[in-house]
Structure 1
């Protein structure tokens, strides 16, 4: 890999190469949006893309047909529209068949219910085809006895119920002459998917009363809905246990998604979740079910949530397992949905590598971070990180490196990681500056300033203040001072341009003092004096250190006129140091009678 090259997804157009994380996100969203726009045009206007002849004709390579081919009102036409995911047309055709007295088979009606419950009674769109459950992770109460901040409503999800009352799915279900287990299970899963958890639970009771058995997918959905059915932590676990016992009674074999749904619910069961989650993992081992990345993500969240951190034993065992495997997606929560709708979602989405790296940062354990990084690079595991997650992952890793590693190691990683792996955030740059300061390696600051300009951070007030403060703290060899003065010149230009544009960046007394001091130490007397005059313009008073350094510069360059200007400025500002500066000027400079 070329460490100076950007991510491979940007190589097709160097002109649009992003400079920072925000630009890279915009670029990836634009590419995905373009793909979705093309799919929409092809699907909505198929008549403009009907040139499908080819010689020889290979059907499997021909474009998919999105327009119905069967005319008239018949069950075959209904099946075709269901297959094409035309929700409204399917419902209309079903109603016409019923009104004509035609009996629709149970299998076809169940297929229609599948379609309606999947799309929530709305029309199929490219976004909805990739849509996932938008489940937020609201803050969990510290104690079950503590009242929640907002009123709990049974069966309602935090994102708002999207299951309309008496919608087409419910209406068709009610008029079905016969129903089987598939009919009930489809309705339950649709209600859970679209936020009507209480209705799903009632439908499950009806299923039991009709002496039907639910399938494993239905139980998985019901276990996921538990946090929206019960308020107290213990009640949630008890209800989840009821569903698990029903699975055993109905001889339904649990799968990976069952345990992931259980762990997802235990994330929101407080202290109960910690004790029961390990039992769930042991049960998985007993059934010879291999965990997925979502399993480990749920487990880490349960044990390392917020400030309540467990010892590193749990994450060490998790990483020992993860680094031995190359994972493939097995659960929607494994985190491999990189569609534009997922990028725009505000809800929670599993991200094992990001969660694990955050735990390493919280524990301040660099060895665990190295172990995690090794696991991420094994096989195809890196594919579980899209651009946003990849940038967040490396950003956390780099902050931990700055905190715990030697400066040579930090700079080596920095050179290899940016921009091939990630775009540093302002916090990463601040962490790097602090690491350089702690290691007394400030000669690297000019190269960091060049990166800041490239990343578009040259107008960040906090970074500029930190940069100037570090460069002006101590006297350095002449070569370094000249490089620092060049940086100060660039920063001065940024401030001046910002002032002209009336932007948010304005001169402060400390920034003026640092720039004047850096010019003085580099022997740039005229530039330093220009900064001294700026103090009067913005009604600020220079510090004694700045005055003394300017006087030293004037002495070094043998400029008595500049020294006299400084004495006049100090007198005009009424500074106590004016007398001392006057005495130094008289002693250290050869003055003419007029100057005296």
Structure 2
């Protein structure tokens, strides 16, 4: 066995010490599998446990086991809205805007109820819930101990009142009262957790945010993005450092709280300085301290090799201090490797192998960091695809529980790999893995990207199947999602479904998006179809025209464009709706829009009456179209005109800047 410290990237922890692992098994198997030694150990452990099996006399069921069993027999209804909206069917959202409004209103009502319960706990003393649900019971938010004592300090710490707890601590010191070490450490934990300020209450904005809002109003109401919000930073000589320096005895817990607070709020160099001071005082760090330092290592070094050397040095010190790493240690290591350039790939695979050798199962955050290391959108390669397939094979069929703040579903949708996307979606149906998608906003992002990939990679029949499965029970598509669906219909030549999709567009509230509406009109007007399809297109086009003709209402009305008017007119002409088409042509003049020359030729091809043909030439001349002379020649050749029509003249309005130049009059005569 080689000596520790030679290749720290290959270290494992065993029997209280870091030892070198045999990585050859992993390189040969290429599937993150257990090593042979670990498999033998597991087999021996299973044999020992099999000999000591104790059959219980009875099975103890949880209080909600019956409900869970009943819930497992019911499948989701894809035609029904999400279960969160079934309390009030009248208010069930039909559009993405209503979905957002309903969700925000529901959350606002929950926060208001929580505020009332916590402010008036005396009115909510009875508990009728079975089983008991502690989070629904009122919390004691008001201070009850007013005298200066350690009990009052602990009460303020329990209620997470940072400033009040610091004031009470200062009063105790001024009164000459000795504060216990545990109470002082609890206060230091609280300060470092919240960055030396009170946590934000659900019903109160932050003070800094109020200042930013006032500044925004002075700047003509410019909206602030999330990145513009004030970020909490570690202030110099704040209460955490002051109280830490006042402690008579600084133990490992005090140093750990200070270092983790510094790392959390960006004081990475000061965190390493505090760790050095801790070592000088002959104290041993705990695993949480090392986790924070490993995550901060890339911030205090510039070159990739220097970052990795610092991480290696921390691992050596964990070995020397006999600190056993946990899941968060390896996740912090993998996350730091994402910023170590070319070193990251080999070392990340070594890290996964060591996790398995130590019996620590990787969480979703572990696999997400590995994918982030290997996958580069700008330069896809075969190796990236292989590592993605291996990760999906590893996580398939497993139930995950959030153990890391970064735990979430692997981001496989960027690879444009539809099979990997299906495997990710299948993983969501295992147990309660769907909870790892996050809130409704993050779920909407996931389903939106999934639907976009389906429209891009799958046949239209499969796309429509997923469309019925996801909408509206799980996903309210945005305008881009509906645009992707229209492009999928165009790719597979299923434009006959456009009228049905238009009904969904209207139902979802996207009928006021001019880009989406114009793309739908252009698809209907581009090609010729059977009379039945053209008739349905005409009905759809007339419905779109009614939206354009509506005045300003609750939503922003559509504004006529030459392209939209041309496409609607073409659809009506193809469906033999000549009167409606003539009305659209006259509307060009009213709205001061110029029709295209191709549209005028389509009109002429559909006209059988010489009078209408002459009227068409007159309209073309009124718009100063360069093709008017050719249009007039076609009328002379294709229609039998009367002597009066033969000798008529078409007057052009004065247009000095027209290009190319047109004559002032056009004579129609034999």
**TM-score, normalised relative to structure 1:** 0.83
Structure 1: how far apart are the matches of 2:359 and 2:112?
44
Structure 2: how far apart are the matches of 1:83 and 1:222?
28
Which residue does the alignment assign to 1:86? 161
Structure 2: how far apart are the matches of 1:321 and 1:178?
48
Matched, 1:566 2:623: no
Whether the 8 Å contact between 1:468 and 1:488 is mirrored in structure 2 is yes
Alpha-carbon shift at residue 441 of structure 1 (Å): 1.0
Of 204-213 and 103-112, deviating more is 103-112
Kindly provide the CA deviation profile for residues 517-568 of structure 1, in whole angstroms up to 9, marking residues without a partner as x: 111122222221122223344555433432233234433xxx5543331122
Kindly provide the CA deviation profile for residues 97-140 of structure 1, in whole angstroms up to 9, marking residues without a partner as x: 212222212122111111111122212444699x9xxxxxxxxx
Structure 2: how far apart are the matches of 1:426 and 1:216?
48
Structure 1: how far apart are the matches of 2:554 and 2:121?
51
Task: Quote the RMSD (CA, aligned, Å).
Answer: 3.1
Structure 2: how far apart are the matches of 1:183 and 1:400?
50
Which residue does the alignment assign to 2:600? 547
SS in 2 for 1:205: helix
Q: Could you say if the C-alpha distance between residues 445 and 316 of structure 1 is closer, same or farther in structure 2, counting changes exceeding 3 Å?
A: same
Structure 1: how far apart are the matches of 2:144 and 2:559?
68
- Residue of structure 2 aligned with 1:196, choices 267, 280, 292: 267
Whether the 8 Å contact between 1:220 and 1:257 is mirrored in structure 2 is yes
Alpha-carbon shift at residue 399 of structure 1 (Å): 1.7
Alpha-carbon shift at residue 426 of structure 1 (Å): 2.0
Alpha-carbon shift at residue 505 of structure 1 (Å): 4.6
- Residue of structure 1 aligned with 2:420, choices 352, 368, 372: 368
Structure 2: how far apart are the matches of 1:419 and 1:246?
54
Matched, 1:120 2:195: yes
Kindly provide the CA deviation profile for residues 446-477 of structure 1, in whole angstroms up to 9, marking residues without a partner as x: 01111111222223232222211111112211
SS in 1 for 2:165: helix
Alpha-carbon shift at residue 230 of structure 1 (Å): 1.9
Q: Could you say if the C-alpha distance between residues 31 and 232 of structure 1 is closer, same or farther in structure 2, counting changes exceeding 3 Å?
A: farther
Whether the 8 Å contact between 2:162 and 2:191 is mirrored in structure 1 is yes
Aligned length: 542
Consecutive unaligned residues in structure 1, runs of 5 or more: 132-157, 335-350
Q: Could you say if the C-alpha distance between residues 240 and 3 of structure 1 is closer, same or farther in structure 2, counting changes exceeding 3 Å?
A: same
Of 582-591 and 460-469, deviating more is 582-591
Of 181-190 and 543-552, deviating more is 543-552
- Residue of structure 2 aligned with 1:230, choices 297, 301, 310: 301
**TM-score, normalised relative to structure 2:** 0.75
Kindly provide the CA deviation profile for residues 214-238 of structure 1, in whole angstroms up to 9, marking residues without a partner as x: 1111111111122322223222222
Alpha-carbon shift at residue 91 of structure 1 (Å): 1.9
| Structural mapping, 1:141-290, within 5 Å | 162-290=233-361
Which residue does the alignment assign to 2:492? 439
Matched, 1:8 2:64: no
Which residue does the alignment assign to 1:340? none
Structure 2: how far apart are the matches of 1:537 and 1:451?
31
Which residue does the alignment assign to 1:50? 122
Whether the 8 Å contact between 1:297 and 1:356 is mirrored in structure 2 is no
Kindly provide the CA deviation profile for residues 233-280 of structure 1, in whole angstroms up to 9, marking residues without a partner as x: 222222222212111111111111111111111222222222321121
Consecutive unaligned residues in structure 2, runs of 5 or more: 1-75, 207-228, 647-670
Which residue does the alignment assign to 2:564? 511
Q: Could you say if the C-alpha distance between residues 268 and 475 of structure 1 is closer, same or farther in structure 2, counting changes exceeding 3 Å?
A: same
Which residue does the alignment assign to 1:490? 543
Which residue does the alignment assign to 2:409? 352
Q: Could you say if the C-alpha distance between residues 571 and 229 of structure 1 is closer, same or farther in structure 2, counting changes exceeding 3 Å?
A: same
Alpha-carbon shift at residue 420 of structure 1 (Å): 1.3
Kindly provide the CA deviation profile for residues 162-181 of structure 1, in whole angstroms up to 9, marking residues without a partner as x: 22222222111111111111
SS in 2 for 1:50: helix
Whether the 8 Å contact between 2:377 and 2:414 is mirrored in structure 1 is no
Kindly provide the CA deviation profile for residues 142-172 of structure 1, in whole angstroms up to 9, marking residues without a partner as x: xxxxxxxxxxxxxxxx985522222222111
Whether the 8 Å contact between 1:499 and 1:506 is mirrored in structure 2 is no
Matched, 1:315 2:372: no
SS in 1 for 2:123: coil
Of 473-482 and 271-280, deviating more is 271-280
Alpha-carbon shift at residue 307 of structure 1 (Å): 1.1
SS in 1 for 2:529: coil
Alpha-carbon shift at residue 587 of structure 1 (Å): 6.7
Q: Could you say if the C-alpha distance between residues 271 and 93 of structure 1 is closer, same or farther in structure 2, counting changes exceeding 3 Å?
A: same
Q: Could you say if the C-alpha distance between residues 258 and 127 of structure 1 is closer, same or farther in structure 2, counting changes exceeding 3 Å?
A: farther
SS in 1 for 2:155: helix
Structure 1: how far apart are the matches of 2:299 and 2:624?
69
- Residue of structure 1 aligned with 2:403, choices 307, 320, 330: 330
Which residue does the alignment assign to 1:38? 113
Whether the 8 Å contact between 1:39 and 1:126 is mirrored in structure 2 is no
Kindly provide the CA deviation profile for residues 369-394 of structure 1, in whole angstroms up to 9, marking residues without a partner as x: 21221112211111112212222112
Whether the 8 Å contact between 2:447 and 2:475 is mirrored in structure 1 is yes
SS in 2 for 1:3: coil
Which residue does the alignment assign to 1:529? 582
SS in 2 for 1:36: helix
Alpha-carbon shift at residue 318 of structure 1 (Å): 0.8
Alpha-carbon shift at residue 425 of structure 1 (Å): 2.3
Structure 2: how far apart are the matches of 1:79 and 1:285?
42
- Greater Rg by CA: 2
